[in-house]
């Protein structure tokens, strides 16, 4: 019998790519998404979409009653660091409240495994070292803290109820489905790769480079960009590991790229420069966030297959060129 999975937030950027990876394995997939930031068209035809929010306990229970589930993947959340600084309590209430409601319902329904989308934003400044899972937790935003709170809740659900869980801390997800079916469509868009591509295509104003006086070789921030398809495959690797124990993994490539590196990559891949201006720092940005993915690589054999920045940019560029209006109006 095919395995059955529930994916909250499966109409979003990373969630939709995970759904694609599950379908490719022959799994049955139900997506629960309120479409507040996700897109109906991002749910591939093989999956069933239930439009609903996690704030509604009855919806969560009704969906979970339709098991048995091999696992629940929890992507649905607010994810803008800047917004969370303006509305800290609202962000905590939404992300932690919805997550706790889901975890409690999973325990009641006997779901054996939960995989949480967590974030590198729960780490503080670690200087120039690659960030391992044991690096100091020091969220710089309510967004990052909301994910840490859910990691803690899952740890307790494991200790007391036996729920197995994987907390997956994403670094910078980017790129798009290599088959061209799925891509990144945030509204508003705040992420560097799609903004740089749009500036290059002349679809928006020049890109503002936020900060040129960081203690990095070219003065701009360094991030670890991971291809969204590699990220999806890491979920499957982590899931298999849950047969042994609960896990926490940092998901990145161990390679850092500066903001200017990204602009140069877009120029290399497209043959056109990215119009940009140098701007002040964006509040809350850390100089350098680069993962050590050594633990998941050691435990599962997973390794990024599209680690080259130009590959990440090329797939993102192909999707954005083919979908000027993203998933549509
Ligand atoms: N940047 C610019 N100009 C822009 C947009 C971004 O210079 O117009 C810079 C940022 O200052 C940063 C880098 O590009 O240095 C990457 O910025 P993103 O907004 O693309 O990504 P962040 O690293 O800020 O955040 C991402 C996710 C968060 C997550 C975090 C974890 O969006 O949800 O990674 O590291 F928490």
The ranges assigned to domains in the chain are 4-174+225-251, 192-223+255-328
CATH of domain 4-174+225-251: 3.40.50.720
The CATH number for 192-223+255-328, chosen from 3.90.1150.10, 3.90.25.10, 3.40.630.10, 3.40.30.10, is 3.90.25.10
Which ligand 1 atom is at minimum distance from the Cα of 286?
15
More confident residue, 82 or 132: 132
Which ligand 1 atom is at minimum distance from the Cα of 195?
8
Q: Do domains 4-174+225-251 and 192-223+255-328 have the same CATH topology?
A: no
- Span 9-53, pLDDT tens digits: 999 999 999 999 999 999 999 999 999 999 999 999 999 999 999
CB of 289 within 6 A of ligand 1: the answer is: yes
- Would you state the structure tokens that stand for residue 104, as one six-digit string? 């409690």
Q: In angstroms, what is the span from residue 210 Cα to ligand 1's centroid?
A: 9
Average of per-residue pLDDT values in the chain: 96
Can you tell me the mean pLDDT for 183-187? 96
**pLDDT at residue 223 greater than cutoff 70:** yes
Torsion angles phi and psi, residue 140, rounded to 5: -95, 5
CB of 121 within 6 A of ligand 1: the answer is: yes
**pLDDT at residue 161 greater than cutoff 80:** yes
Enumerate the H helices of the chain as residue ranges: 13-24, 57-64, 81-86, 88-109, 142-161, 192-200, 228-241, 259-270, 294-300, 309-322
**pLDDT at residue 192 greater than cutoff 90:** yes
Rounded to whole angstroms, how far apart are CA atoms 238 and 220?
Answer: 33
Q: In angstroms, what is the span from residue 148 Cα to ligand 1's centroid?
A: 19
**pLDDT at residue 124 greater than cutoff 90:** no
- Give the CA dihedral 56, 60, 62, 64, nearest 10 degrees: 180
How many residues belong to the chain? 329
User: pLDDT band for position 257 (50/70/90)?
Assistant: very high
Which ligand 1 atom is at minimum distance from the Cα of 207?
8
């Amino acid at each position: 019998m095919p395995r059955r999975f529930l994916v909250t937030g499966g109409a979003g950027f990373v969630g939709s790519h995970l759904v694609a990876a599950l379908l490719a394995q022959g799994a049955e997939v139900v997506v629960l998404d309120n479409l507040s930031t996700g897109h109906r068209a991002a749910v591939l035809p093989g999956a069933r979409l239930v439009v609903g929010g996690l704030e509604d306990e009855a919806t969560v229970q009704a969906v979970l009653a339709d098991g048995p589930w091999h696992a629940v993947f929890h992507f649905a959340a607010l994810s803008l660091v800047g917004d969370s600084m303006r509305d800290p309590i609202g962000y905590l209430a939404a992300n932690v409240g919805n997550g706790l409601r889901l975890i409690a319902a999973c325990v009641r329904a006997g779901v054996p495994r939960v995989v949480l989308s967590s974030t590198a934003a729960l780490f503080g400044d670690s200087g120039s070292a690659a960030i391992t899972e044991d690096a100091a937790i020091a969220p710089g935003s309510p967004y990052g803290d909301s994910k840490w709170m859910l990691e803690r809740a899952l740890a307790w659900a494991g200790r007391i109820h036996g729920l197995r869980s994987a907390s997956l801390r994403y670094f910078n997800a980017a790129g798009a489905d290599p088959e061209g079916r799925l891509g990144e469509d945030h509204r508003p868009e705040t992420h560097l790769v799609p903004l740089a591509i749009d500036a290059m295509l002349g679809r928006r104003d020049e890109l503002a480079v936020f900060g040129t006086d960081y203690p990095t070789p070219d003065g701009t921030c360094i991030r670890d960009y991971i291809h969204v398809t590699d990220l999806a495959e890491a979920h499957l690797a982590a899931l298999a590991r849950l047969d042994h124990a609960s896990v926490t993994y940092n998901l990145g490539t161990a390679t850092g790229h500066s903001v200017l590196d990204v602009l140069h990559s877009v120029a290399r891949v497209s043959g056109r420069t990215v119009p940009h201006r140098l701007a002040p720092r964006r509040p809350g940005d850390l100089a350098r966030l680069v993962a050590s993915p050594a633990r998941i690589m050691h435990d599962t054999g997973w390794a990024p297959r599209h680690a080259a920045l130009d590959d990440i940019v090329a797939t993102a560029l192909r999707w954005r060129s083919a979908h000027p209006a993203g998933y549509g109006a």
